[in-house]
Structure 1
Amino acid sequence: MKTKSWADIARHPKFVELHRRKTVFLFGWWAFSTLFYFLLPIGAAYTPGLFKVKVIGNINFGYLFALSQFFVSWGIAIYYARVANQKFDRLTRELVDEFK
């Protein structure tokens, strides 16, 4: 069997579909996480009253929002790992199997 070049693989419909799906998925979550990240400094600058609201004892909304960024990041990472294991890896295996 003739060895395929990288250009052949890049033009293969399954590779194109895999690349498109990953790009759409990653760009969407990148945009969301970037917006969420910049809401903290923007919110603190333009709505300081909201960020000073006491929620629990001395803990205010600003602290909770900053802390939530860690949980959102972890959630996105866990979600990506799940989607990658279920969808992207399956498409990759199908593509590799075709070129064996």
Structure 2
Amino acid sequence: MASKAINWAAIDADPRFQRLHAKKTSFLMGLMIFSVVYYFLLPIGAAYFQDIYKIKVFGPVNVGLLFALSEFIVAWSIAFYYSKKANTEFDEMAAELVREAERIGG
């Protein structure tokens, strides 16, 4: 059960790994920036645009409450979008590296 030691530095230096890491990092940074901006729109809006947030939509439900609830929908949508992208694009790139890990890092 002796397995060949893998040279992780060689895998890290592989251009395909670098491309995977760069694509994933830029994708995640974009999602993070969007989610942080969307999250902070609620307290900023509640503080500076109170008249908009107080508009009644139906019954006791107003724009502010709907916006607050929309944050859950946006969070789940971001998670779904990331999962979809990771399962198709990123996992394919990673699987290729795993298949050739011994050759790359051997």
What is the TM-score with the length of structure 2 in the denominator?
0.90
| Offset of residue 81 of structure 1 | 0.5
In the TM superposition, 1:1-100 aligns within 5 A as 3-100=5-102
Instruction: Extract unaligned runs of 5+ from structure 1.
Output: none
Please report the RMSD computed on the Cα atoms of aligned residues, expressed in angstroms. 1.4
Instruction: Extract unaligned runs of 5+ from structure 2.
Output: none
| Aligned partner letter, 2:17 | F
| Aligned partner letter, 2:84 | R
| Aligned partner letter, 2:82 | Y
Superposed structure 1 runs of 4+ greater than 2 Å apart? none
- Per-residue CA deviations over 1:33-62 (Å, capped at 9, x if unaligned) read 000000000000000000000011110000
| Offset of residue 4 of structure 1 | 3.3
Which structure's relative contact order is higher, taking Cα pairs within 8 Å and 6+ residues apart?
2
Number of residue equivalences: 100
What is the TM-score with the length of structure 1 in the denominator?
0.95
* % identity of equivalent residues: 52
| Offset of residue 6 of structure 1 | 1.3
| Aligned partner letter, 2:20 | L
- Per-residue CA deviations over 1:12-44 (Å, capped at 9, x if unaligned) read 111101100100100000000000000000000
| Aligned partner letter, 2:79 | A
Q: Distance in 1 between matches of 2:58 and 2:11?
A: 56
